[in-house]
Chain A
Amino acid sequence: MSVGPDAPAPGAGPFAGLRIWWTMLVISIEERLVYRGDFALGTLMRFLPIVTQVFLWTAVFSATSRGDIAGYSRNDIVAYYLLTMLSRAFSSMPGLATGIARSIRDGSIKKFLVQPVDYVSFLFASRIAHKLVYYVVAAAPFALVFFVCRSFFPPLPDAMTVAAFGAALGLSFLLGFFLEATLGMLGFWFLEISSLVFGYMLVQYLLSGHMFPIDMLAGIPSGIPGTSLADVVSWLPFQFTAYFPAAVWLGKIQGAELGRMLLVEAGWVVVLAIGCRFAWRRGTRRYSAFGG
């Protein structure tokens, strides 16, 4: 099937595209709010594993004579885990890749091939809606946990660092979206991508810094002469989805290095956005519709 997926709305004025986009956003917000109770409960529960991590690292520090591990004090590590929760609130895209693959498999994606609605924009709008609702519902549990744990955090960083942190979070949202959307588009070729998604989740969890600060891998050789595992991880985009924003807030990355890393992150966003568009165009060309 090769219907142009990006065709403009017929008989549309200059703001029609914007109006369609706004409608998609409003519909998605209403959809998300149906499950607000489940959302709030789920958000609070997601902090429970952090509690065990805090106790684990406290025990680790109590048994070692070192004041810091890979440049992180005990308080830094607790703050780091909490900040990665915030990073993941921006970059994680639950159900995006599997949702795309499912609509390819069951044929429901074909409506986007004939309707004057761009599929990637639709996904993007509904993901923004998902996140906006999430932030409204999750703000209270997040604020509560961060307030209770405020003593673990260093003093507020300067305005420049806060701005860089905001930019890192915004870019991590875009990065997470295009990364998962591209993965989902692979469904045009494989139909069933659950094992790919699982592999991605595994790699993501390990290499994003969600499990531990990536700096801890600095002393571990990668097998490539002269490079550590931390070097290898720094060549990949995953670190921007959890580690990077947290490290920025904690002042682990500063000055010219901070600017350079933000540019690298923006570069990854562009590369993945192009990759996602490319996969969509190539995929829709080879797509055979299923379902009635």
Chain B
Amino acid sequence: MTRYLSILGTFARACLVRDLTFRANFILECLTSLGWMSMNLAFYLLVFTFTPEIGRNTGWTREPFFAFVATGLIINAIVQALFIPSAEELTELVRTGGLDAVLVKPLDAQFLLSLHRVDFSALANGIVGIALLAWAVARFAVPPPPVAWVLYPLLIVCGVAILYALVIMLAAATIHLGRNQSLYDFWFYITNFSRYPAEIYSGPWGSPLRALCTFVIPILLVVNVPARAIAQPLTGAAWWAIGGTVLAAVAALIVSRLVFQRSLTRYRSASS
């Protein structure tokens, strides 16, 4: 474990040195993600000029909703920084046969393939997310109880774990397909469902979609449950959701590990 942590530290250091070698590019990348994020925040501000709440009696008024958005920013920043760059490189490694070099190394292949590249510029959104969370929480009518502050980071970790499992399973699909650009687009579009409170998915089309995105692909638990813990009262149903999210995160990690290991056995080198 210590060995893996030290290797992770080495990866991170190397990536930071690389990022800071091209400083202008690094700053530009930070500004890029901050630009998109600001645009979305402006859109939400506009929406709240027309309505006091997202969904009737859902409790997602302006400040709780911005706490929700902040939670999404923090979770996505972690996933984008730690896992996405490596997963994206896997496509090229499979296509070119570069995966061979990874498999012969005396390290766990999944660890190496999911964490060897860290994108520090993606963390910019996470920092804004933390500031936005502080702004929103300071304006809550009722401040979150201490237990919410204990649960919040734990549930963030669970959200990251669920998204990681999804990314790694899509990466595993690369090994089967050889190339899967559309599947990464699919990841972007499917995580799009996690951007809003689950309550908006109601009615004859919304309820089945909500069930699908909660129990089959637990994408709706990722942001909703931690955001709920901090921004809404911790009632009986909330505790069920919290327990379910912890279980879903553990299950997602186990399933993704099995899928990834199985996929590796199917890998046929592309090089000569």
| Residue A38 at the chain B interface, CB threshold 8 Å | yes
| Residue A212 at the chain B interface, CB threshold 8 Å | yes
The answer for the CA separation of A108 and B49 in the assembled complex, in Å, is 50
Q: Which of A52, A60, A220 contacts B47 (CB 8 A)?
A: A60
A41-B182, A212-B43 are known contacts. Are A55 and B51 too (CB-CB below 8 A)? Answer: no
Quick check: A206 and B39 within 8 Å, CB to CB? yes
Shortest Cβ distance from A263 into chain B, in angstroms?
30
Quick check: B43 and A202 within 8 Å, CB to CB? no
Q: Which residues of B contact A48 (CB under 8 A)?
A: 189-190, 192-193
The answer for the CA separation of A55 and B53 in the assembled complex, in Å, is 14
Shortest Cβ distance from A196 into chain B, in angstroms?
11
| Residue A69 at the chain B interface, CB threshold 8 Å | yes
A52-B195, A216-B46 are known contacts. Are A60 and B54 too (CB-CB below 8 A)? Answer: yes
Query: Could you say which interface size class chain A belongs to?
Result: 20 to 34
Q: Which residues of A contact B26 (CB under 8 A)?
A: none
Query: Could you say which interface size class chain B belongs to?
Result: 35 or more
Q: Is the interface of A mostly helix, strand, loop or mixed?
A: helix
Q: Determine which residue in A49, A59, A69, A199 has the highest number of CB atoms from chain B within 10 A of its CB, and name it.
A: A59
Shortest Cβ distance from B48 into chain A, in angstroms?
9
Shortest Cβ distance from A50 into chain B, in angstroms?
10
| Residue A219 at the chain B interface, CB threshold 8 Å | yes
Q: Which residues of B contact A219 (CB under 8 A)?
A: 49
Quick check: B43 and A62 within 8 Å, CB to CB? no
Shortest Cβ distance from A210 into chain B, in angstroms?
11
Quick check: A55 and B50 within 8 Å, CB to CB? no
Q: Which residues of B contact A45 (CB under 8 A)?
A: 182, 185-186, 189
Q: Which of A55, A58, A63, A211 contacts B52 (CB 8 A)?
A: A63
Quick check: A64 and B196 within 8 Å, CB to CB? no
Encoded as 1 (CB less than 8 Å from any A CB) or 0, chain B from 183 to 217 comes to 00110011011011101111100100100000000
The answer for the CA separation of A60 and B65 in the assembled complex, in Å, is 12
| Residue A147 at the chain B interface, CB threshold 8 Å | no
Chain A 181-237 interface residues, beta-carbon cutoff 8 Å to B: 195, 198-199, 202, 205-206, 211-212, 216-217, 219-220
Quick check: B182 and A59 within 8 Å, CB to CB? no
The answer for the CA separation of A199 and B31 in the assembled complex, in Å, is 10
Quick check: B200 and A56 within 8 Å, CB to CB? yes
| Residue B32 at the chain A interface, CB threshold 8 Å | yes
Shortest Cβ distance from B209 into chain A, in angstroms?
8
Q: Which of A41, A49, A58, A66 contacts B50 (CB 8 A)?
A: A66
Q: Which residues of B contact A216 (CB under 8 A)?
A: 46, 50
Q: Which of B47, B50, B56, B197 contacts A62 (CB 8 A)?
A: B56
Encoded as 1 (CB less than 8 Å from any A CB) or 0, chain B from 141 to 175 comes to 00000000000000000000000000000000000
Quick check: A198 and B32 within 8 Å, CB to CB? yes
| Residue B255 at the chain A interface, CB threshold 8 Å | no
Quick check: A49 and B189 within 8 Å, CB to CB? yes
| Residue A267 at the chain B interface, CB threshold 8 Å | no
A45-B185, A63-B52 are known contacts. Are A58 and B39 too (CB-CB below 8 A)? Answer: no
The answer for the CA separation of A216 and B51 in the assembled complex, in Å, is 13
Q: Which residues of A contact B181 (CB under 8 A)?
A: 38
| Residue A157 at the chain B interface, CB threshold 8 Å | no
Encoded as 1 (CB less than 8 Å from any A CB) or 0, chain B from 13 to 38 comes to 00000000000000010001001100
Having A48-B192, A198-B32, A198-B35, one finds 15 other A-B pairs with CB under 8 Å, namely A41-B182, A42-B185, A45-B186, A52-B196, A55-B200, A56-B196, A56-B200, A58-B206, A59-B54, A60-B54, A62-B56, A64-B50, A199-B35, A220-B46, A220-B49
Which residues of B does A touch, CB under 8 Å?
28, 32, 35-36, 39, 42-43, 46-47, 49-56, 58, 181-182, 185-186, 189-190, 192-193, 195-197, 199-203, 206, 209
20 A/B residue pairs, CB under 8 Å, sorted by A: A45-B189, A51-B209, A52-B193, A52-B200, A55-B196, A56-B196, A59-B55, A59-B196, A59-B200, A62-B55, A62-B56, A63-B56, A64-B50, A69-B50, A198-B32, A198-B35, A202-B39, A206-B39, A211-B39, A211-B43
